[in-house]
Amino acid sequence: MMISLIGKTNNKGFTLIEACLVGVVLSLILALSWPILNRTARTTQLETTCKEISYTLRYARDYALNESKYYCVQFNLQEHQYWIAVKNSKPDNTGIFIPLNDSLNKTRYWPEDIEITVSHQILVFSPDGTSQDFNLSCKNPQGNICSLKLQGNTGKTTIQTSRN
């Protein structure tokens, strides 16, 4: 509380001590919550990676069903990338898979600190939409794991996350 020269009190604003105390309290709150926020961000990144791969699998399956062609999703684990490819149909049925050329197709990448293991590096979808059963596991440096399972006969995907 400050007193003016004419005897009236002047309560405008905060003192420097009050402003410093507010800064210290906010700094403590941030310091205590930072590990939780960081862990949440890493887990969210892991789940997002699994969901993006799941969407790509659905996209390739839909293409196979709608166009009555063989489509696949190919994984390159060393380069942290995956993409959709279509079977180049030849009359003798010896076609090879070539990367799909459309506006939505591109080589997709996942973060380098996420380790991915797959049951098959090439997952093929037949013209009727079926495929092999497929399992994918994503693991981040904190040990959190996100698992994706695809039922080949129905196309149903299930994602589960386990946190450390």
Query: Which of 41-45, 53-57, 81-85 is the least confident region?
Result: 41-45
Indicate the SS3 state at residue 61: helix
C-alpha 72: how far from chain center? 20
Report which of 106, 129, 133, 109 is spatially closest to residue 119, judged by C-alpha positions. Answer: 133
Determine the Cα–Cα distance for residues 71 and 59; give it in Å rounded to an integer.
10
Rounded to the nearest 10°, the torsion over CA 121, 48, 40, 35 is: 60
Domain boundaries, the chain: 14-162
pLDDT at 17 over 60: yes
Say if CB 84 and CB 69 are below 8 A apart.
Answer: no
Query: Is the four-CA dihedral 39, 45, 51, 53 of positive or negative sign?
Result: negative
pLDDT at 58 over 90: yes
CB proximity list for 88: less than 8 A, separation 6 or greater: 95, 96, 97, 98
Amino acid occupying residue 2: M
* Architecture label for domain 14-162: 3-Layer(bab) Sandwich (3.55)
Q: For residue 35, what pLDDT is reported?
A: 79
For the cut 80, the answer to whether the pLDDT of residue 164 exceeds it is: no
Minimal CA–CA distance to 151: which of 164, 129, 76, 69?
Answer: 129
Least confident among 9-13, 16-20, 134-138, 158-162: 9-13
